[in-house]
Structures are given as C-alpha cells and as structure tokens.
A and B are shown apart, each in its own frame.
Chain A
Amino acid sequence: MTDQGPLIPRNRAIHPEPYDPGYKTSVARSPFLPLLSMESTPSEETGPRFGHTKLGALDNNLILNWTKGAAPAVGERILVHGRLLDEMSRPIPNALIEIWQANAGGRYRHKKDTYFAPLDPNFGGCGRTITDENGYYEFLTVRPGAYPWPNRANDWRPMHIHFSIFGHSFAQRLISQMYFEGDPLINHCPIAATIKDRSQLDRLVAPLDFSKSRPLDFLAYKFDIVLRGRRQTMFENKMEGM
C-alpha cells in the first residue's frame, strides 16, 4: 500500500467552540485543557469500511423504511441529495452516511422524546446509504418539523436532519446537521450558533434544488459535505515497509 500522506490538520476555528454557554449542556461536557496535537498515524488514517454490511433496499427511503414499504409517512415529501468530498475536492466513494430526524410534527421515535406532537405510525426517522463512485448520495424523506427543547426558557430547533459521516479514515469521522433554506429559526438557535463563522453555518443550510425535484411527487434539497483531506507532497517520507 502506498502512503497517501498524513491527514491535513483540522482547522478548529471553523468548527463550533466546545464550550459555549448559550448551549447549556456544553458547559459541563467540554474539556478545559488543550487537546494533544500531533501528526496522524495509521490509527487515524485507516478506518472501517462497510462493504460487508448488508444495506436493505429501503434503507435510504425514510418515507417507507419504517413500515418496510407497507405505508408512507406523513409530511412534505423531499429528496435530500449531494456529494461527499474531501478538502482536496476529491469525491469520497463507498462511504457510509447515516441520518436521523424528527417526523413532520417535530417528534423523534426515541424512548426519551416526550414532546406532545404525535408519533407517525409510518415513520421511524433514520436512514443510511453508501456514496457511489462519484461520492454522490440520495435520501427520500419527509421534511422534519421544528421542535422545542429544554435550554433557555423558549428555545426551538430549526428544521434539521442529523448526519453521521464516515470517510475512509477514522479521523475524518464527523457528525453534523443539515438545515433548510429560509428557515427563520436558524438565526435563533443556540446549537446553530455554536458555529461562530457565519459562512460555515451557511454551508450547513441546504438550498431548494428544482433540478432534482420530481413534479407532482417531491421537492429536493442539495447538501454537499466536505471531510478532512490528506496531504501529499513530493517531499513526504514514505511509510516504512509499505
């Protein structure tokens, strides 16, 4: 195996601050001491692959996957699609993307969610897929509702879909959230506001995309995701024994 080079060090300024008093739960869950920085090693540069996992035919269809195709979920039907790229603009193929979300009323199918918006008997709220050879992925789902959450006295989450993304390296691992173009709650959300760089927050907001919208069926939103890349120059040492 040739050495693909170490991972490009993470620019933490473009990520949220771990300690952010506006998001109360972060106060006791953020390290006080500095992180230990060093160049990546095989432990960070390698990562799990999911070729051995059997994905079901409906795994990326949240409208149908909870009922195994028997009945569709309630809500505004949408396609969420995009590309997974690295910092060097290279598509990341064969990568696992998992999502979870509230139903159209803003309620999660989780034993801990007690919001009084009702569960939809036909909606489970999670999906997964593997990117194709061009790093492209698609999910069919319903638009999640906004919901209230315990933080300050009257905080509401904007409509959002949670994304969990694997690259090919364990240190590329990322969890983020996709927001929807035009949602006025984005500017009032303490979790969105943990990202201090406005252009970075804007990059988590998916635009309406008529190029993929299917007439009389669903609207589409585009959400591209960028993971860390790897540095390779003509001056790198090659890995010993590789």
Chain B
Amino acid sequence: MVQKLETLIESASQTAGPYVHIGLMPTYAGNAGYYDEEIGTTPFLDESKAKGEIVEIVGSVFDGTGWAMRDALIESWQCDAGGVFPGDKGADPAFTGHCRFAADAESGEFTLRTVKPGSYKGRGGVESAPHISLWVVARGINIGLNTRIYFEDEDNANDPLLNRIEQRPRVNTLIAKKTGDGKYRFDIRLQGEGETVFLDI
C-alpha cells in the first residue's frame, strides 16, 4: 500500500446527443423565447463599438463519409483584436470572446461572425499567431473535439502549435482560406482524408 492521493478524477464526458440545441441554443431547437437572454448568440456586446476587423467564417463539419453534418454545435473562444482575453485587464469591453453556432439544418453550413483576434505572448514570452479556439460537439462525438482556426493572411510561420505538426500538409487543416473582404472558409473534417488536426491541450 502507498499513500492515498488527495486529487479527484475528472468526470467522464458523454456525447452531447441529438438534442444538445435544446439546452445550449433553444431558439435553434425551435424553442425561441425560452430564456430572456440566450448565451453565446454573438461574441459582441456591442458590435458597433468593437475594436478591430469584423470577419465572417463559414464552413461545415464533415463526418468520415464526407457528409456535412446537420447537427454539429460549435463554441468559439478567442482574445480581442488587441490580443487581450475578455475578463483580463485592458480587454475590449464590447467583446465577450465567446460564441455558439450550429450547422444549418438544411445546408450543414455554419457562420461565425466575430473580430479577427490579435496575437499574444504566452508563457515564456512565446508569441502565437492570431487564432480562435473551437470546441465541437454532436451526437456520436463522445468527447468534445478541440481545434483552432488560424488565418491564411497572417504570418503563421512561428506559431508554437502549428510548428508541432509533423506532417506539414496537415497544418492547412487549421488555416481559414480567404474568400473575400473579411470573409473566410474553414471546414472541419472529423475523420479520414484531410482530417483536421484536433488538440489535446
């Protein structure tokens, strides 16, 4: 026998299931007006006052057969245009950094409207390229999948996460492609050819 650890074990994940929208996006589930104020419908508290460039990122979540999933739900989290995380000192008061969005039930396409994040320095003074963190859940996903959106028109050469990806072509799975002024395309492939790099951080 050895001494007993005092630490606890994390609760196990379970799939979000097909009805996750009831709990997290009631309007999407057909239950508009359930709450006075729904959480995460936009990352803006006041879009007209938010600092930085407004961007729209459109994409789909594809399963291993290439089918654009109709039921995926995604949350995003990011710093503001100045590289400060909401809640930290000096953060943009018009911006929450958090958004919830779902694949359209007809087309399977999602849209994230937000500000383009700045870059920040992490532990040890290492600078990250601008990125948005994503968390993807759906029926059949047993534990939420974490990934990141980077931007094609930013300098990603020295990003500490991207530089850890051994197979260089896979870096592209994390980079949103510019399709127009302030518009980007970012697809997520859960499995197989072109599989997105998912994170364990």
* A residues apposed to B, CB below 8 Å: 1, 3, 6-7, 9-12, 14-18, 20, 23, 25-33, 35-44, 46-50, 52-54, 56, 59, 65-66, 85-89, 96, 98-100, 108-113, 124-126, 128, 162, 164, 170-171, 173-177, 191-192, 194-195, 197, 200-201, 203-204, 225-229, 237, 239-241
Contact = CB atoms under 8 A, between A and B. Distances in A.
Given A1-B88, A46-B85, 18 more contacts: A12-B200, A16-B143, A18-B141, A26-B141, A26-B142, A30-B142, A39-B201, A40-B201, A43-B77, A87-B10, A98-B23, A113-B18, A126-B31, A164-B16, A194-B142, A203-B9, A204-B14, A226-B8
A17 B40 CA distance: 29
Contact of B15 (A44, A86, A194): A194
A100 B19 contact: yes
B4 interface: no
B75 interface: yes
B98 interface: yes
A37 B96 contact: no
A220 to B, nearest CB: 19
Contacts of A201: 12
Interface in B143-201: 143-146, 148, 160-161, 164-165, 190-192, 195-201
B144 A173 contact: yes
B64 interface: yes
A125 B121 CA distance: 43
Contacts of A164: 16, 20, 23-24
B9 A87 contact: yes
Interface of B: 6-24, 26, 29-31, 34-37, 39-40, 45, 63-65, 67, 69, 71, 75, 77-79, 85-89, 96-98, 120-125, 128, 131, 133, 135, 137-146, 148, 160-161, 164-165, 190-192, 195-201
Contacts of A20: 142
Contact of B142 (A16, A108, A237): A16
A48 B65 contact: no
Contact of B198 (A16, A36, A98): A36
B164 A36 contact: yes
B35 A128 contact: yes
A59 B190 CA distance: 34
